[in-house]
Structure 1
């Protein structure tokens, strides 16, 4: 049991607290200090992420008020790494820091593999040093100064100095000397060798890192793509469907920061498999916090602004409900529309919103909306609906109304009124569900060869119009039945449910590719069954395990991966499923990992 323990100062790293204890205890040997603090001499003096904290707290004086979690949160660099780790792995790192198994901490955080701006020495700010001595009578190592990527003091905006320690003992905690000689320190950066732009962004990066360390409620940000996708879409770096425009993003990233800064921070983005590409794809590997913060600053301007906007959706047309713009309806201009389907314009790549009202009126426009007035703008009418046609019939029966007045009353041009005032019943047109445009001049002309193929009604001599609603409904039933067949086929090796595969199996590939916009029900049903690569791999793993168990074959991880065709770096969801299956059938098969092989999931 310790007789005393120094209270940590503001922003003091735990390594510094141990160094001050060593100085006050009067211990000559550093191993005597280790024995005092931890009850063992095998502890390695680690600056950023120490271990044995539970043993330390068990030896602190009575009523000390400290616990491992408090030390980890306030006096280590764990908050710097934790938000960008999978939550389960972050919890495992906490357990490692509390325990005596400190050799796996840096591997679990990805520090060993990343090699990004690694700090192996102690850093200090000379102004902080003077202020600490004046306020506390002694100086200490500040936690923020030791974080990777920090070359400036966040308080004084001055370049940090590196302490040139002569000690080679990895078990020794070095306190800040009471008298600091110029020969003991050197500047961490050569100012004259760096551009003003690089210096500026290094200073800004420090602000982000300081906030990351001190903010009390940072969300888990491991699933980076899901978090920043709305912003990527808003800035034009991603399509409405979520595809990242990597070339555009890489070019802007390089221009924004410059090669000098990226090289200094070990964050160059050369090559097709750069870290920036992985940071904006599905989460499969840990990306270093410094790199994550660089991406966030590019998109949001600062980490603080990112936290303010965290969780916001990409809504190019605002939130529902939207106004109905059917001038024939009693609820005209009222916000009653709750359905909006967003697609991408093939020409401009801008989002296109199609709004469906309960009155049958369907309209679309290109976005995103910039001002409130945009909500009341129609780009194109795709369907008028029964109410509109009823109003048209009513107005046509009034002899005192000109076609121009009728057009104005219905919100269309005169040509549209002429087109739908022909003898053919407007109700017949409604039932046939024809999509029409607001401006007939914008309508695409039918090619001669296509016109010849159009079926003709012998009685009227007019071409029969397609009932798209009925066709859509019938096709959606066929598609859903086929999807269920694919998923229910357990006798054969699983095949992935995709748009092309389902459409080919029912013999409608070309038809469905050409008419996606006219088949909203079918596309919605298909979207519920279409599998991502990771989801399909998970289903295939389940099937393979069942086959192996049924055949009394040995169940091993490598065998499952081989039969499932899994390449290195497959998704975490698939990894979880493999482990789940191995645990479930552990009675029938040996353990899936060899002796000594252990993962952070097992330790949790």
Structure 2
């Protein structure tokens, strides 16, 4: 049990709490503080995501009550690191913070290089408490402002990235390391203050609350937002326009200022990957940038998880077949989105069970047919009968202007089919496709199309609904044979040359599968056991040339002795060990080799 423990301030980082305890405890060495808090003398304290909190709670039992959930969510950057991640990652991070066990931490997020502070907050802290502390909200990557005083944050002299520290330390916030600088690095860009403020707000929200979104939800959420802003039409993304508008919105100068790559207009850039269906975790600041650009706020993203792109509203949808009894009734269950090749406008293709297919513009406020795609024979006969008496009602339609428009659409449909002969060929192509499936019952669509692709291509264009219902059920890939014997012979020659390269290196390199693979560029082939089973000669050669630790040490010793003898140096055991980087007692054979060489030269 600890003799005392400081009280936790509002929004104080746990790292700051531990640092204040170290400063007040009088411990000379930091390992004594680690032993007090975590019962460990060797520990690397993570500034934003501390570990072993369960041990700390146990050591403080009796006079301090700790709510670990409150500590983790309100005094660390747990949400910042785990929002936009999978549930497994969130649970793994939480378990690591509580238990301290080493687990996978696949989150590419680094803290700010220096811990940050607000000069006004420091002045107020010394008036109220006689000391200051590191605030959690000031250390969030992407937060540039203190929201209380609306001042730009300053960099302290305390390095927060552990790998750049010369030694492990716990440094509390003081007037010595929180020097007030009148000119911040961000003050030179006054025209970007609004953007800095907005980005700071978004990043602060990411670090403060559970956004209730996972990485797998983000593609669909961004697709809906991109569609709303006009960057997606018929499931096709206009990335060129998106990248240009994104750069114009923020500006290259601003993106460089906050440390984000400004070359987002290239394929496979972070902007392109985030908008595509790419698995992976992206930096929360990138989510903040994209969300703000799409006129949304991060705390509202969860609302789009269950939404769908519905340019025509929720189904069912209206049928515009004037000869059907359900004319202008909402009976169509589904539609597909496509882009008009001429106007580039988004159109919906509606398939009614009555045998009538047509398209509509998605951006039109009026319900009308853009183009008739397919008419069943019975409706076509009804249309021809009506065409003889134009004054009669067109099925269930009586308005003259609509009848004229319908006649125009039916005429264009008739001209299109008479030119291509599609109407007469549909039955023929259906029979051809069915016969191909019957003749090749074990073949999938890829194999059938290799035999004869014309029926499938024709039906895909003119009878898509029927084609979907009659696709082959076989779902397997065609096995492709590979000449492993030729590969085996080829790899033999490549590996022999790689061995000679490794043996002739100035600085000896151990001969392993990895070192051979890196030189040959064939690492993906030779590191897989199943591939080596198919290449017995290559496998046998690798087993014969791969070095053990002892063999590699002997080779280093032999080379070192030869080099010393060549320049006329006197051989000593310590000199050979130092130059060959050999530890004593690792191998009797190596030790005897060194002693024999020294003894032989002395004699």
What is the rounded CA distance, in whole Å, between the counterparts of 1:25 and 1:483 in structure 2?
A: 82
3-state DSSP class of the match of 2:215?
coil
Greater CA deviation, 516-525 or 180-189?
180-189
Aligned 8 A contact 1:152 1:158 in 2:
yes
Aligned runs of 1:449-598 on 2, under 5 Å? 465-466=423-424, 468=426, 474=431, 477=434, 485-486=442-443, 501-502=446-447, 504-509=449-454, 512=457, 515-523=460-468
Aligned runs of 1:242-391 on 2, under 5 Å? 243-270=236-263, 271-368=266-363, 373-374=365-366, 376-383=367-374
Greater CA deviation, 71-80 or 520-529?
520-529
Which residue pairs with 1:210 in the alignment?
Answer: 204
Measure how far apart 1:284 and its partner are: 4.0
3-state DSSP class of the match of 1:123?
strand
Deviations 1:70-109 (A, max 9, x none): 433222222112123344334333333334456x77x621
1:172 correspondence with 2:164? no
1:120 correspondence with 2:101? no
Greater CA deviation, 321-330 or 260-269?
321-330
Aligned 8 A contact 1:231 1:314 in 2:
no
Which residue pairs with 2:221 in the alignment?
Answer: 227
Q: 1:396 to 1:146 in 2, by over 3 A?
A: closer
What is the rounded CA distance, in whole Å, between the counterparts of 2:286 and 2:373 in structure 1?
A: 46
What is the rounded CA distance, in whole Å, between the counterparts of 2:7 and 2:473 in structure 1?
A: 57
| RMSD, matched Cα | 4.6
Aligned 8 A contact 2:347 2:361 in 1:
yes
What is the rounded CA distance, in whole Å, between the counterparts of 1:36 and 1:108 in structure 2?
A: 30
Aligned 8 A contact 1:316 1:368 in 2:
yes
Aligned 8 A contact 1:159 1:187 in 2:
no
Q: 1:391 to 1:442 in 2, by over 3 A?
A: closer
Measure how far apart 1:121 and its partner are: 1.4
Q: 1:248 to 1:415 in 2, by over 3 A?
A: closer
Which residue pairs with 1:576 in the alignment?
Answer: none
What is the rounded CA distance, in whole Å, between the counterparts of 2:439 and 2:269 in structure 1?
A: 40
Deviations 1:552-593 (A, max 9, x none): xxxxx99xx9xxxx999xxxxxxxxxxxxxxxxxxxxxxxxx
3-state DSSP class of the match of 2:347?
strand
What is the rounded CA distance, in whole Å, between the counterparts of 2:251 and 2:472 in structure 1?
A: 41
What is the rounded CA distance, in whole Å, between the counterparts of 1:475 and 1:64 in structure 2?
A: 81
What is the rounded CA distance, in whole Å, between the counterparts of 1:378 and 1:25 in structure 2?
A: 81
Measure how far apart 1:203 and its partner are: 0.9
Aligned runs of 1:182-201 on 2, under 5 Å? 184-186=179-181, 189-196=184-191, 198-201=192-195
Which residue pairs with 1:425 in the alignment?
Answer: none
Gaps of 5+ in 2: 485-512, 525-603
Which residue pairs with 1:574 in the alignment?
Answer: none
Aligned 8 A contact 1:352 1:366 in 2:
yes
Aligned 8 A contact 2:206 2:284 in 1:
no
Greater CA deviation, 513-522 or 250-259?
513-522
Gaps of 5+ in 1: 113-117, 419-435, 455-463, 488-496, 545-556, 569-604
1:141 correspondence with 2:139? no
3-state DSSP class of the match of 1:231?
helix
Which residue pairs with 1:160 in the alignment?
Answer: 153
What is the rounded CA distance, in whole Å, between the counterparts of 1:518 and 1:383 in structure 2?
A: 8
Deviations 1:117-144 (A, max 9, x none): x512111123333455566665321112
What is the rounded CA distance, in whole Å, between the counterparts of 2:195 and 2:222 in structure 1?
A: 21
3-state DSSP class of the match of 1:286?
coil
Aligned 8 A contact 1:359 1:387 in 2:
no
Aligned 8 A contact 1:124 1:161 in 2:
yes
Measure how far apart 1:68 and its partner are: 4.6
3-state DSSP class of the match of 1:164?
strand
Aligned 8 A contact 1:321 1:335 in 2:
yes
Greater CA deviation, 6-15 or 324-333?
324-333
Aligned 8 A contact 1:140 1:175 in 2:
yes
Measure how far apart 1:39 and its partner are: 0.9
What is the rounded CA distance, in whole Å, between the counterparts of 1:299 and 1:527 in structure 2?
A: 42
What is the rounded CA distance, in whole Å, between the counterparts of 1:128 and 1:486 in structure 2?
A: 72
Choose the corresponding residue for 1:109, options 100, 107, 110.
107
Which residue pairs with 2:409 in the alignment?
Answer: 439
Which residue pairs with 1:547 in the alignment?
Answer: none
3-state DSSP class of the match of 1:93?
helix
